[in-house]
Structure 1
Amino acid sequence: MTPGNQTPVRVGVFGLLGSGNLGNDGSLAALLGYLRAAHPDAVVDALCGGPDVVTARYGIPATRLHWYRGEYRTASRAGAMAAKGLGKLVDAVRTAAWVRRHDVVIVPGMGVLEATLPLRPWGFPYALFLLCASGRLLRTPVALVSVGAAAIGSRPTRALVRWSARLAAYRSYRDAPSRDAMREMGVDTARDEVYPDLAFALPTPEAAGPHKDSVPPGLVCVGVMAFHGSDDDRARAEQIHRRYLDGTTRFVRALVEDGRPVRLLTGDACDAPVVAAILDAVDSPLVTAAESSSLADLMKETAAADTVVAIRYHNLICALKVGTPTLAVSYAAKSDALMARMGLCAYRHPAREVDADRLLEQFRALEQQATELRRVLAERNAVAARQLDDQFAALTMALFPAPHHAHALREAR
């Protein structure tokens, strides 16, 4: 039974979860860890992109986010276009019915208020708007917890994101630029707080520490991405991608020529072609590819490395959390803010203009400061852990019935 013999709180979690993005799933894992510790009697289920994966991996019931299964495929035929349009109407009803069944709905982390990667307004932004509007109409509080946001150029996308944020009952952001972006888009952020990304609440794997005997000395983890620029870069997406891939490949080749073993990391299923292209171009036994299915796997990989160079946001978080000196190939303000928070602001390189020679120079400077940077990261990680404790305490006070507060406070001690 719940504290005070109350009816169990029904908690829904929402997002592109179980769809192949390790960062999104890591945010879910962190939230579930909080709920199981502070609110163990809560009944939890999900409305998400990959319900089968979420149920199998996290043990909670899950429902598919979109009625139309081809939502994220381009519709070129009349039948597909009609089905996609019908799906928008069906999803409005499905989302409201799902929200009605809950006392609280939480959107855990993720960049749900940004368009730093290509994004169509009638895809996830529309789904998020349906969620927040349903929550307001049905008086079910919707919480956007440690989410990412960024200025959006597309008017339809910006409008949907702005109204989603306005209709949410609780908002917190994973960095100050996210809060600033929402304020610039017309959202009153006076009561909104900034906390670290939820992934910093995940347990650090036991493998983080002394290198295993099987790990080659001097290992460098290089995180890669199917990077094509932002939503505003569609006209030159292929040009941006070619420059990124060429610069990254040349950097990996330079490391191999120095005799350094390289481990390629990804963060989403769509990154596999980039890994294949680099392996084919460099063609050396010193270059291998990791097969990671979670942020815990990524943390183990980055903990075993001497240094990390990565582009995906949650690749960076994994490396920083385990205390490995890291250089960010930055494609958005969120990466810059993360590196500044962790004391590595000097170690950033622009993703749209990857210069292998300059990147190699920065990499060598990073390695020269490795001992000091490990000390800085240990201090910053301790601060992040305390701040996330505050975040979860604030979430309990804002969303959960009063009898749950005392139990949550006891669990936090």
Structure 2
Amino acid sequence: MTVRVGVFGLLGSGNLGNDGSLEALLGYLRGAHPDVVVDALCGGPEAVSARFGIPATRMHWNRGEYRTASRAGAVVTKGAGKAVDAFRTFAWVRRHDVVIVPGMGVLEATLPLRPWGFPYALFLLCASGRLTRTPVALVGVGAAPIGSRPVRALVRWSARLAAHRSYRDAPSRDAMRAMGVDTSRDEVHPDLAFALPVPQVDAPSPGLVCVGVMAFHGGNDDRARAEEIHRRYLDGTIRFVRALVEEGRRVRLLTGDGVDAAVVDAILEAVDSPRVTAARTDSLADLMRETAAAETVVATRYHNLICALRVGTPTLALSYAAKTEALMARMGLDAFCHPAREVDADRLLEQFRELEKRAPELRRTLVERNRLATRQLDDHFTLLTMSLALREAR
């Protein structure tokens, strides 16, 4: 019997972390269940089909879903799109034996988020799964406390309607429990990206520092202060990069989403040194190769951090959410977190020098923690196979 598996999420939309989670899931399915037929309902279907070789359908009927609607016609189109999406999502879900949401922070609002965007789409998915009796599995997802009542309600009901839930860290499970979801049977395991293979690279380049940047404006509850938060983050990061250059260091700037390009441009212009270059990265494999080539990494985006830790490079996190602290603690580097909202270049430099001082010890720690993370993910994938219809694909 051929099992039809659907994957869902903001995939193919420019976020390398989201696509990395899909890559990890597909790697497992293709290795353990080669007869499974997979397709996607996602944000960027053309990109997903081109890169992963699976059929893909656009998540939203309205192509302008994430653009602000200021004219009456655009408002009407958006409203009509919500109704159309309900029917489209239901029809898509019922064609599958199981639907999987692979990783991603689908149950959080640590970045700006509107209730009728992705939270509504996720609710439609989980409600359709319950109505069609198609199991919807939220696998290794992220969650966080949510201040907005509409977003919180949609997220809570999505989680309750899902047939399977697991989380990438304990704070995510705690957040869902605090929202009133019964998490007594929910598992916690490392982020799905830890299942990705590590590229073979040469030895680190002496003195090279990778700095992963982000178009950071605070979270969903920080909209009124967004520009102030962004300016403080950018100014502190520029001062830090300039200080490294003045010490004769080479700096390689990394991104994790297309929106981060403006931050890279601002740093290149402000520091204005040939010692600062920007990497072009199209996948987590590219990010892993870049971070493996560095002696140390300082990064903000969650999956920039994962890539650096996955290849065993000592890393300092500019933290903007509990998921960062949880990740760094899991990998034994919880002492090396710095607040992204209050970047203090002098303090950051002190932490960076301590990171370099302890680098040999930290590399050994990361080898051990990566081995453990790989084993834990293998166990979870086995559990997932047993609890869903995937076992029938063999």
Flag whether TM exceeds 0.5 (same fold).
yes
- What does 1:123-142 correspond to in 2, within 5 Å? 123-142=117-136
Q: Are positions 1:83 and 2:77 aligned together?
A: yes
Aligned counterpart for 2:164 among listed residues 154, 161, 170: 170
2:33 and 2:390 in contact (8 A); partners too:
no
Which residue matches 1:410? none
CA-to-aligned-CA distance 1:279-325 (integer Å, 9 cap, x gap): 00000000000000000000000000000000000000000000000
Which residue matches 1:103? 97
Q: Are positions 1:69 and 2:63 aligned together?
A: yes
Which residue matches 1:252? 241
- What does 1:197-276 correspond to in 2, within 5 Å? 197-207=191-201, 209-211=202-204, 215=205, 217-276=206-265
Q: CA deviation at 1:188?
A: 0.1
1-side partners of 2:147 and 2:203: how far apart?
A: 46
Q: CA deviation at 1:402?
A: 4.6
Which residue matches 2:87? 93
Q: CA deviation at 1:401?
A: 5.2
Which residue matches 1:196? 190
Q: Are positions 1:112 and 2:106 aligned together?
A: yes
2-side partners of 1:343 and 1:400: how far apart?
A: 36
AA in 2 matched with 1:274:
V
Output the aligned Cα RMSD. Answer: 0.7
Which residue matches 2:48? 54
2-side partners of 1:174 and 1:402: how far apart?
A: 23
1-side partners of 2:390 and 2:304: how far apart?
A: 36
2-side partners of 1:56 and 1:308: how far apart?
A: 31
Which residue matches 2:140? 146
AA in 1 matched with 2:66:
Y
2-side partners of 1:402 and 1:17: how far apart?
A: 25
* SS class of match (2:63): coil
2-side partners of 1:275 and 1:84: how far apart?
A: 33
Structure 2: unaligned runs, 5 residues or longer: none
2-side partners of 1:398 and 1:113: how far apart?
A: 22
1-side partners of 2:46 and 2:107: how far apart?
A: 25
1-side partners of 2:235 and 2:215: how far apart?
A: 12
Q: Are positions 1:156 and 2:165 aligned together?
A: no
Q: CA deviation at 1:403?
A: 4.0
CA-to-aligned-CA distance 1:153-184 (integer Å, 9 cap, x gap): 00000000000000000000000000000000
* Aligned residues between the structures: 394
Which residue matches 1:39? 33
Q: CA deviation at 1:206?
A: 1.0
Which residue matches 2:354? 365
| Alignment CA distance shift 1:403-1:66 (3 Å) | closer
Which residue matches 1:351? 340
Aligned counterpart for 1:311 among listed residues 291, 300, 313: 300
2-side partners of 1:373 and 1:68: how far apart?
A: 48
2-side partners of 1:206 and 1:327: how far apart?
A: 23
2-side partners of 1:168 and 1:371: how far apart?
A: 43
2:214 and 2:256 in contact (8 A); partners too:
yes
Q: CA deviation at 1:400?
A: 2.0
AA in 2 matched with 1:195:
H
2-side partners of 1:401 and 1:305: how far apart?
A: 40
Q: Are positions 1:23 and 2:12 aligned together?
A: no
Q: CA deviation at 1:116?
A: 0.1
CA-to-aligned-CA distance 1:230-287 (integer Å, 9 cap, x gap): 0000000000000000000000000000000000000000000000000000000000
2-side partners of 1:121 and 1:152: how far apart?
A: 11
Which residue matches 1:13? 7
1-side partners of 2:166 and 2:262: how far apart?
A: 35
2-side partners of 1:238 and 1:391: how far apart?
A: 41
* SS class of match (1:379): helix
2-side partners of 1:333 and 1:175: how far apart?
A: 9
1-side partners of 2:361 and 2:98: how far apart?
A: 44
- What does 1:358-397 correspond to in 2, within 5 Å? 358-397=347-386
AA in 1 matched with 2:249:
R
CA-to-aligned-CA distance 1:327-373 (integer Å, 9 cap, x gap): 00000000000000000000000000000000001000000000000
AA in 2 matched with 1:133:
A
AA in 2 matched with 1:275:
V
| Alignment CA distance shift 1:235-1:38 (3 Å) | same
CA-to-aligned-CA distance 1:176-219 (integer Å, 9 cap, x gap): 00000000000000000000000000000012x523xxx4x200
* SS class of match (1:206): coil
TM normalised by structure 2 equals 0.99
Q: CA deviation at 1:147?
A: 0.2
2-side partners of 1:308 and 1:195: how far apart?
A: 24
1-side partners of 2:44 and 2:97: how far apart?
A: 23
Q: CA deviation at 1:106?
A: 0.1
AA in 2 matched with 1:129:
F
Aligned counterpart for 1:185 among listed residues 173, 179, 182: 179
2-side partners of 1:188 and 1:401: how far apart?
A: 25
TM normalised by structure 1 equals 0.95
AA in 2 matched with 1:147:
V
1-side partners of 2:257 and 2:265: how far apart?
A: 14
